[in-house]
Amino acid sequence: MRYRGNILVLTAPTIVALWFSYAFAFSYLVGEAGRFGIYLPRRQWLTIHILAGGVTLLLGPAQLWLGLNRRTAILHRVLGLLYVMGVAAGATAAFYLAFHTDFGWLVGLGLGSMAFAWIVTTALATIAICRGLVQQHREWMIRSYVVTFGFVTFRVLTFAFEFVRGKTLVERMAAASWLAWSIPLFVTETVLQGRKVFEKKRSSAVPQQEKHGDSAAPELTAFGLQNSESTYLRQP
């Protein structure tokens, strides 16, 4: 049952990732250079970001599935290394694009913060597994992929905000640049920590005898010297 549940949970982001890569991201890599639009002067950085982000976006569900089901450890490590390298390259390009954006400093700060969260969550996931902290590694990998998916969420939000009246393009981009990763990360953290708070308390009761019997310190009894047969108190 758990195996099937993991497949169902991870299938949805995989389908969305494939759709996003085909419909938006990879469209910049084919056709004329004019497709880059305002990003034409920074097309090299955008290409790096698209390729690296696409790799991590598609590797994420596979990595989570392999890790949760403890299958094919060697493949999991190899794909994990590719994922980390993809994050490093994608985040570096994202930093450059964020601080050379044409939509103002607030948008750049939002996108730069998302790239920073991308690096931090992935770095902590890597450090955790290097130290043998498997459960923490899984949780940080989930957070990392939520931030990875934030670039998809950003595109969806910018499209949805087009229907909001009375807001400029810069205002819509600024809102999307912050909401695309902060809200999903908050929801994820609520779920991860909420499960720990509300999970059934495992029975840790110890038998009464074990608590107060053998493990308890022996009672101290009064000791009188008057009727003692100890030779130490006898007079020669």
pLDDT value for 163 = 87
In Å, what is the CA distance from 212 to each residue of 26, 204, 205, 208? Answer: 69, 15, 13, 6
State the alpha helices, DSSP H only, in the chain: 2-20, 43-69, 73-98, 105-130, 134-148, 150-160, 169-198, 208-209
Nearest to 13 by CA among 204, 165, 150, 114: 150
Label residue 198 by pLDDT band (50, 70, 90): confident
In a domain? residue 51 = yes
Question: Is the model's pLDDT at 10 over the cut of 70?
Answer: no
**27, 60 in Cβ contact below 8 A?**
no
In a domain? residue 228 = no
The 10s digit of each residue's pLDDT in 126-165 is 999 999 998 999 899 999 999 999 988 998 898 889 888 7
pLDDT value for 226 = 47
pLDDT value for 32 = 67
Question: Is the model's pLDDT at 65 over the cut of 80?
Answer: no
Strand, helix or coil for residue 125? helix
Question: Is the model's pLDDT at 174 over the cut of 90?
Answer: yes
State the burial class of residue 123 (Cβ atoms within 10 Å of its Cβ: 0-12, 13-18, 19+): middle
In a domain? residue 235 = no
Distance from the first to the final alpha carbon of the chain: 84
In a domain? residue 157 = yes
Question: Is the model's pLDDT at 118 over the cut of 60?
Answer: yes
pLDDT value for 172 = 92
In this prediction, residues 197-209 reach a mean pLDDT of 58
pLDDT value for 46 = 87
In a domain? residue 232 = no
pLDDT value for 178 = 95
In this prediction, residues 21-25 reach a mean pLDDT of 66
**Cα of 176 vs its chain's centroid, Å:** 20
pLDDT value for 127 = 97
In a domain? residue 229 = no
In this prediction, residues 196-209 reach a mean pLDDT of 60
Structural domain count, the chain: 1
The 10s digit of each residue's pLDDT in 104-117 is 999 999 999 999 99
Report the percent of the chain where pLDDT is more than 70.
69
In a domain? residue 208 = no
Place of tokens 């840790």: 204
Boundaries of domain holding 28: 2-198
Report the percent of the chain where pLDDT is more than 90.
39
Question: Is the model's pLDDT at 84 over the cut of 90?
Answer: yes
Strand, helix or coil for residue 185? helix
pLDDT value for 222 = 46
In a domain? residue 217 = no
